Amino acid sequence: MLIIPAIDIKGGKCVRLTRGDFSQQKIYLDNPCDMAVIWRKQNAKMIHVVDLDAALTGEMVNFEVIRQIVDELDIPVQVGGGIRSADAVKRYLDIGVGRVVIGSAAVTDPGLIREVLKSYRSSKIVVGIDAENGIPKIKGWTESSGMKDYELALRMKDLGVERIVYTDISRDGMLQGIGYESTKKFAEKAGMKITASGGVTNFEDLIKLDSLKPLGVDSVIIGKAFYECNFPCQKLWYHYEPGICIDRNYSTARTK
């Protein structure tokens, strides 16, 4: 089970939201690149970055911040948030982003998925499905897609997509436990590689997710639980990919 720390960027700062609500934001660090370096220093194998401003506007507001993170690290960086054109995909991959996560456009412009998969390997193109009660939401979680989460996944599978980042919105940022049942149900119907996201609170959540590996759930994105230091004694890292919660006094010495 690959564990992927999350960095959400809004207004150039590292923040976390509660259930995607932009009015419920907490700033953890002014410089997201410093946060990325902290995760790498703790031996993270991949970083998940979301441009929250772009998720709302469709404009690559924090592109330069993300470029700095990619330049600074020697591990893959996965980027999502407002990627709604082939040009946006190209710009990210050209600066060295490991893979892009396309969310809203998978619903509003499925032709984009078909187009970019002609130019890039499927390992570079991931679809993000952020669902509430089994219904994907788009445009920064402000609109409903009008279809079931697994229906969207199967449409993407037909286009050649191999991996889904699946988020249970009702759990995201709540620190009330992973949406195990919703993730399991989705994985059973989708039959794809899945990165779980939303609500991971403690080590027990990871044990639960680990049981879903036969269904394709092979990785997990963790956000607020890391930032709020919900893994006492670093028990997590003795069993899974190495990492750590924030040490407020940790040196931000560069990795390169």
Which of 30, 51, 87, 130 is catalytic? The answer is 130
Is 130 among the catalytic positions? yes
Task: DSSP for 27-81, please give it.
Answer: EEES-HHHHHHHHHHTT-S-EEEEEHHHHHHSS-TTHHHHHHHHHH-SS-EEEES
Question: Do β-strands 2-10 and 13-18 pair in parallel, antiparallel, or remain unpaired?
Answer: antiparallel
Of 147, 103, 160, whose CA–CA distance to 129 is shortest?
Answer: 103
Question: Do β-strands 135-138 and 143-144 pair in parallel, antiparallel, or remain unpaired?
Answer: antiparallel
> Taking the CB of residue 43, how many other CB atoms lie within 10 A of it?
12
Question: Residue 141 burial by CB count (10 A; 0-12/13-18/19+): exposed, middle or buried?
Answer: buried
d(CA 159, CA 242) in angstroms, rounded, equals: 34
Is 8 among the catalytic positions? yes
Which of 8, 51, 53, 172 is catalytic? The answer is 8
Which residues does the annotation mark as catalytic? 8, 130
